[in-house]
Amino acid sequence: MDIGIKESDRKKVAAKLQKLLADEHVIYIKTRNYHWNIKAANFAELHAFYEEQYGELEGVIDEIAERIRMIGFLSTGRMSEFLKLTELKEGKEITDSGEQVSNLMKDHESVIKYLRNCIRDFEDLNDMGSADFVTALMQQHEKMRWMLESFLPK
């Protein structure tokens, strides 16, 4: 593959994207779990909101896996690999909506910080396409985090 980025640099980008893919899977599964098991006065509203968020995360997951393929590497698809790569925690079963929302916000914040580092690293590796790609993902996570925050008491 000759796209103007050394193979060794593309490999570094792919490794960072694999870790991101793992993080996205953890947030996705956690959001689905909370969607199924929520107990709250505003159940219907939050239940629908979680469904919107995990739907958006499904798209993000697919885009990341495809980006890894675009730069010449296989994308992992095994839960065992995701759990090795992620720094996010599955956590215990939680039904309290406030605790659920807080946990998801923290996960999104962790991903946002990781993405900020990826932007700089990808630019340094001359992969502007991946830098632009993760910039857009960061903005999505910033919005998801902000929307979650709106469910917390003031």
Q: What's the confidence (pLDDT) of residue 148?
A: 97
Q: What's the confidence (pLDDT) of residue 94?
A: 82
Domain boundaries, the chain: 7-149
Contacts of 73 (CB under 8 A, 6+ apart): 10, 11, 14
Print pLDDT tens along the chain (154 aa).
888 899 999 999 999 999 999 999 999 999 999 999 998 888 999 999 999 999 999 999 999 999 999 999 999 999 999 999 999 998 888 888 899 999 999 999 999 999 999 999 999 999 999 999 999 999 999 999 999 999 988 7
Q: What's the confidence (pLDDT) of residue 154?
A: 75
Q: What's the confidence (pLDDT) of residue 2?
A: 86
Q: What's the confidence (pLDDT) of residue 144?
A: 98
d(CA 71, CA 99): 38
Q: What's the confidence (pLDDT) of residue 24?
A: 98
Backbone angles phi, psi at 39, to 5 degrees: -130, 115
Cα angle 14, 56, 133; round to 5: 35
Chain centre distance of CA 143: 12
Q: What's the confidence (pLDDT) of residue 11?
A: 98
Q: What's the confidence (pLDDT) of residue 35?
A: 95
**Residue range 7-149, CATH number:** 1.20.1260.10
